[in-house]
Structure 1
Amino acid sequence: MRILFIGDVVGKAGRTAVTERLPGLIRDWSLDLVVLNGENAAGGFGITEAIYNDFIDAGVDAVTLGNHAWNQKEALVFIERAPRLVRPLNFPRSTPGRGAALVETRGGARVLVINAMGRVFMEPLNDPFAAIDRELEACPLGEMADAVVVDFHAEASSEKQAAGHFCDGRASLVVGTHTHVPTGDHRILPGGTAYMTDAGMTGDYDSVIGMQKEEPLQRFLTGIPTSRFEPANGEATLSGVAVETDNATGLAQRVAPVRLGGRLEPALPGFWG
């Protein structure tokens, strides 16, 4: 199975990169599954139903979220009618929506998509490891699911790495999101799970983690906010990770970073031509 995970989409520039490039990537790379983190898609904070539908129309199979899941209040309502929109699993039980979704691919395979949020330097949610463990036990790789993708939305690299090892052998891919900077540690862990500490953002990198530079600089220099953060609007880099799995086991065989367009050095999965 060929899987593409797209890192945090920031603002209009990021959305444009996805809608313009993704249909061609699905065709040229014969992608079976596309998962995208959309928690910064609406003006840098949250997601709307129209944006969610645009992603689905472009070929995205599941959209994950994070700490900005509810910045657009309409998400609290439309998530109930958006079966492929997945918010962090470890929110309280009363939170709307779902923290995992079993998605059917174009070829009829079943993929479990899990979204969980770390707790180090983040909101004090429920234990993400226990929550992930319950989902993996309920829908095991190779039995109930042909592949498993875990988006671990967290600040600390150590917590993301721990999540990767915790899921090793039980997931096809564990990928970190949230910090908006792509890491160079993509690899296959000893048990066969593909891992990358952060997929990076799909947004304009002439920025401060996707936001226009002036206001973040002002706050760092003076400690005084003068205006709201606004997404940078230059050409975006589509950032993410590509994984190819063994159809028999669901474990990873190959993994590579993806960077297309914008200011970062391009990176392509050479094993897909």
Structure 2
Amino acid sequence: MRILFLGDIVGEPGRKSVLKFLKSIQKEHSIDFTVVNGENSAGGRGITPKIANELFKEGVDVITTGDHVWDQKELAEHLTTESRILRPINYPKGVPGNGSIVVDTPAGKVAILNAQGRTFMGQALENPFLITEAEVNRLRQQDVRMIFLDFHAETTSETIAMSYYLDGKVSAVVGTHTHVQTADERILENGTAALTDAGMCGPETSVLGRSVESIIYRFKSSLPTRFPVAKGPVRLCGAIVDIDPETGKATKITRYNRLLEASEM
């Protein structure tokens, strides 16, 4: 089983680029299953049902989110009927949506989990380590062996700790949220693939996908200002993970990183 995971899609530039190139990426790399983090795809904050449906139509199997999941108000109701869009699993009971999904594929059942870190995130969520472990145990009791976690966290230490905590229990732990791809892809001792941050799918000349000038102005002046999504060439970032369906262990993880020139757009 080969899973393609693309990091945070930022605004229209990132969204249009993923929609345009996804099928060719899937074909080139013989992808079996595709997951994207879409929580910044609507103007840089949140995701709408319309955008989600466009991504599904182009071949995305599951969409994960994070701390911006509620920024587009129409999504909350949509989550009650669309199980392929995940919100972090460690929200309290009663919150719309789900934090995991199991999908039947020709290679077997694949579970995708979405959890959110707590360090510097500013939200009073449940402990992601305990909640995620409980869900993983439930899935393994149902003989789901291929389990992929998008851990949406601010600090590298929290994501790395989660990777080691779940080593041997899940197939992969890939981080999102910082929008900066790390170069530490590896397979841990007990067979879990790990990457601290997948990076983003968004404008190359930007600060985390936002206009450079506006971010610099904020740092210089400390005054509030708008942070428009930047323009120009887009870089697509993520990871490709190979998983043994029989054991659920990862056999390979490769960073995906492609700069799209202006002529390609």
Question: TM-score band (shorter)?
Answer: over 0.9
Q: Where does the alignment leave 5 or more consecutive residues of structure 2 unmatched?
A: none
Give runs of aligned pairs for residues 134-213 of structure 1, distance below 5 A. Answer: 134-140=134-140, 144-213=143-212
Equivalent position of 1:62 in the other structure? 62
For structure 1, the residue ranges without an aligned partner over 5 or more in a row are 264-273
> Within 5 Å, which residues of 2 pair with 1:96-135?
96-105=96-105, 107=106, 109-122=108-121, 123-135=123-135
SS in 2 for 1:155: coil
1:253 is aligned, of 248, 251, 254, to: 251
In structure 2, how many angstroms separate the alpha carbons of the residues matched to 1:234 and 1:49?
A: 26
- Per the TM alignment, residue 169 of structure 1 is displaced from its structure 2 partner at its CA by 0.4
Which one has a larger percent strand, Structure 1 or Structure 2?
2
Residue 44 (structure 1) aligns with: 44
* 2:203 partner SS: coil
**CA offset at residue 205 of structure 1?**
2.1
C-alpha distance in structure 1 between counterparts of 2:98 and 2:198, whole Å: 22
Aligned to 1:35: 35
Q: Which amino acid aligns with 1:130?
A: L
1:215 corresponding residue in structure 2:
214
Aligned to 1:266: none
SS at match of 2:215: helix
Please tell me the root mean square deviation across aligned C-alpha atoms, in Å.
1.3
- Quote the Cα distance in structure 1 between the aligned partners of 2:234 and 2:82: 26
CA contact (8 A) 1:218 1:225 kept: no
Maintained 8 Å contact 2:173/2:193 = yes
Please state how far the C-alpha of 1:85 moved relative to its aligned partner.
Answer: 0.3
TM normalised by structure 2 equals: 0.95
Counterpart-to-counterpart distance in 1, 2:107 and 2:84: 16
Distance 1:187 1:102 in 2: 25
Instruction: Go from structure 1 to structure 2 and tell me whether the alpha carbon gap of 1:108 and 1:82 turns closer, same or farther (over 3 Å shift).
Output: farther
Query: Taking every aligned residue pair, what percent have the same amino acid on both sides?
Result: 43
Deviation at 1:134, TM superposition (A): 1.0
User: Does the 8 A contact of 1:12 with 1:233 survive in 2?
Assistant: no
Which among 226, 229, 233 is matched to residue 231 of structure 1? 229
TM-score by length of 1: 0.92
Aligned 1:12-23 pairs, distance under 5 A? 12-23=12-23
Q: What per-residue deviation string (whole Å, max 9, x for no partner) do you get for residues 87-138 of structure 1?
A: 0001111210001111223x25211111000000012211001110111110
Which residue of 2 is the match for residue 267 of structure 1? Answer: none
Spell out, residue by residue over 1:173-209, the C-alpha distance to the aligned partner (whole angstroms, 9 max, x if none). Answer: 1000000000000000001000000000000120010
